[in-house]
Structure 1
Amino acid sequence: MVNIRYFLLGQLTILLIIICLGTYFKMGIDMGDIATWFGSLGTIAALGLAYYQLHTDRLATREDEKRNQAKKISVWIDSENRNAEMCYSIQNVSDSPVYQGIITLVGIQGAGPPKCGENVDEGYEYRVKLVTIPPGKFYAVSNSGGKGMHIEYGVEIAFTDSNGIHWLRRSNGKLEEIKKSPLEFYSIYLPVGWSKVKEEKPESFTT
């Protein structure tokens, strides 16, 4: 629909050509005809722009509906204990579970882990693989490797929603659709050591 502007430009160009030819060959074009042309062109422009706006609104609505569940899934670092373990809070405020939830600890500052989870090896230990994330708030735990000077961690999560669409929420909160399943995206091979979400925060993080 972006090509509407080119269509309108083409119509205007044709009109100008007709006017120029009429003047050159003394065709005696009536000014009323020219006014009619301009009026028709304005009508076409108004209809074209209205249709373009309607089409754009429909696309935006479809995209919002597509992202409806995915935008309700979030994860953040809750705490780290003295055993070099990281506790994550996971929240699914939708009405349906999501699947293959892969939580990955990433670095956002300093000489820590890579900033993007797809840049780590398949055997990366600072990661949790959750078979299902039901509606509600839960916890999960992974190793963290400790925390060196000036190192700051972030966390990202990839998952498949209830419609079979794959998503990735980066450590900065940005939500992206991915074309591969979380396992394929991270090059994780079968068999997978799946874990289950924890309904309560582990005691090692509460004392």
Structure 2
Amino acid sequence: MSGDADRRLGRIRAVAFGVLAVSGVLLLFGPLLAKAWIWLVRPRDPNWWGASGQWVGGIGTIGAVVVALWIAIRDGRIAQADRRERDLRERQEQAAKVTAWIERAEPGSDAAGYMVVSNANAEAVNHVVVSFDLVHNLPMTGSTLHRGPDIEDDEYLYAILPPGKWRMPIREEWQRPDMTPGVMLAFTDSRNGHWLRLTDGRLIPKDQNVVTRRKIRFPQRISVPESY
């Protein structure tokens, strides 16, 4: 929680406890104060003043209950928001450790290059689709290819990608001299969060996994990851 939020919550609690204190004083000392007022001002019907003291005490009780309920509801909402924020932060920390990039192949290699995917988490990710991508210029602003329900020749589909570094060969015919190669990576983390990492490295949360989102039909060519 930020410092401003802490200070705001502190002020709210101070006001709330102040109201509780005033209500408690009225509840405990209302009848006594009413009788003291009778003695100081002028004679009144004691029954009337006693009833007024009871009314004041009743109002104080109601105020105390209302404030206590309000504090409980407010604190519950703040705690729930904190839990959601913490869960999102943990998910983002896990997803941030799944990265991808292009590496050139060594001279004489069968491949023109490699797409490299690194999963630096202790847990595997699943529903993984690694796509070779081409962008017109730098900085990379996202995919120039529209992907459909079929796994294309320049894509790799993995049911599970364990922790470690993995590479996928790039064919010569996939490349174009006027465009920059990149990698687009879709995956689901171990907390069932769905993510898309674009060629410029941006990490975008998704509501569905890539299989559901793209309506990928099976059977499909499922690749076996090559350790790197």
Using the size of structure 2 for normalisation, the TM-score is 0.55
Question: Alignment partner for residue 79 of structure 1, among 100, 104, 108?
Answer: 104
Give the share of equivalent positions with the same residue, in percent: 21
Unaligned runs of 5+ in 1: 5-46, 201-207
User: What is the RMSD of the two structures over their aligned residues, measured on CA atoms?
Assistant: 3.2
Q: Determine the C-alpha separation between the residues in 1 that align with 2:208 and 2:185.
A: 14
Contact 1:99 1:161 survives alignment (8 Å): yes
Contact 2:151 2:220 survives alignment (8 Å): no
Question: Alignment partner for residue 184 of structure 2, among 139, 156, 170?
Answer: 156
Q: Quote the residue 2:126 is aligned against.
A: 99
Which one is further off, 70-79 or 116-125? 116-125
Per-residue deviation, 1:115: 4.4
Aligned length: 151
Q: Determine the C-alpha separation between the residues in 1 that align with 2:127 and 2:197.
A: 14
Q: 1:135 to 1:187 in 2, by over 3 A?
A: same
Per-residue deviation, 1:60: 3.1
User: Which structure shows the higher helix fraction?
Assistant: 2
Q: Determine the C-alpha separation between the residues in 2 that align with 1:187 and 1:85.
A: 30
Q: Quote the residue 1:89 is aligned against.
A: 116
Q: 1:59 to 1:165 in 2, by over 3 A?
A: closer
- Secondary structure of the corresponding residue to residue 69 of structure 1: helix
Which one is further off, 57-66 or 154-163? 57-66
Unaligned runs of 5+ in 2: 1-7, 9-70
Q: Determine the C-alpha separation between the residues in 2 that align with 1:71 and 1:164.
A: 15
Q: Determine the C-alpha separation between the residues in 1 that align with 2:126 and 2:144.
A: 18
Q: 1:71 to 1:123 in 2, by over 3 A?
A: closer
* 2:152 pairs with 1:119: no
Q: Which of the two has higher C-alpha Rg?
A: 2
Q: Determine the C-alpha separation between the residues in 2 that align with 1:104 and 1:117.
A: 11
Q: 1:85 to 1:100 in 2, by over 3 A?
A: farther
Q: Quote the residue 1:38 is aligned against.
A: none
* 1:1-20 equivalence runs, <5 A: none
* 2:91 pairs with 1:66: yes
Per-residue deviation, 1:134: 0.8
Q: Quote the residue 2:34 is aligned against.
A: none
Per-residue deviation, 1:108: 1.6
Q: Quote the residue 2:156 is aligned against.
A: 128
- Secondary structure of the corresponding residue to residue 227 of structure 2: coil
Contact 2:195 2:203 survives alignment (8 Å): yes
Per-residue deviation, 1:57: 5.2
Q: 1:117 to 1:135 in 2, by over 3 A?
A: farther
Contact 1:109 1:152 survives alignment (8 Å): yes
Q: Determine the C-alpha separation between the residues in 1 that align with 2:227 and 2:210.
A: 23
Q: Determine the C-alpha separation between the residues in 1 that align with 2:168 and 2:175.
A: 19
Q: 1:118 to 1:55 in 2, by over 3 A?
A: farther
Using the size of structure 1 for normalisation, the TM-score is 0.60
- Secondary structure of the corresponding residue to residue 120 of structure 1: coil
Q: 1:58 to 1:181 in 2, by over 3 A?
A: closer
Per-residue deviation, 1:123: 5.0
Residue deviations 1:15-54 (CA, integer Å, cap 9, x gap): xxxxxxxxxxxxxxxxxxxxxxxxxxxxxxxx9xx97987
